[in-house]
Amino acid sequence: MENVVLTIHLILALLLVGIVLLQRSEGGGLGMGGGNSVMTGRGAATALQKLTWVFAAAFIVTSMTLTYLAASKADSESVLDQIGVEAPAAEEGQAPAGSDLLPPAPADAPLAPPAADAPATPPAAPATND
């Protein structure tokens, strides 16, 4: 199914490029030239213009269909899970991968910040004579 839609999508892309290249140039960028341009008034649409709209609409439909098919086929697994590669095992004494986002254990927690009226440096410990 996906291959059929993809083939139609590619054919539509080529037809859309071809049909746009066959159309007459109005001269001037962004519709600034000619009396039959986009910015001024709408004249009668030619057969090539109508065909361009049909190809563009079909191209958008096939694009959305391919997106839907790809999303429905996607798994929640990782690409590494699909090819059979295992994650490296954590060594003893090491935290498992991803644990760096956890808060530190109470023994490893930093000291509480000093109070506002406390001195900036801690007092020196008294020297002992041994």
124, pLDDT greater than 60 = yes
pLDDT in tens, 64-118: 999 999 888 876 666 677 777 666 655 555 655 555 666 667 776 666 666 666 6
47, 53 in Cβ contact below 8 A? no
Task: Note if the pTM is more than 0.75.
Answer: no
Indicate the length of the chain as a whole number.
130
- Where along the chain do its domains lie? 1-20+47-72
pLDDT recorded at residue 73: 82
pLDDT recorded at residue 47: 87
Report how far residue 39's alpha carbon sits from residue 24's, in angstroms, rounded to the nearest whole number.
17
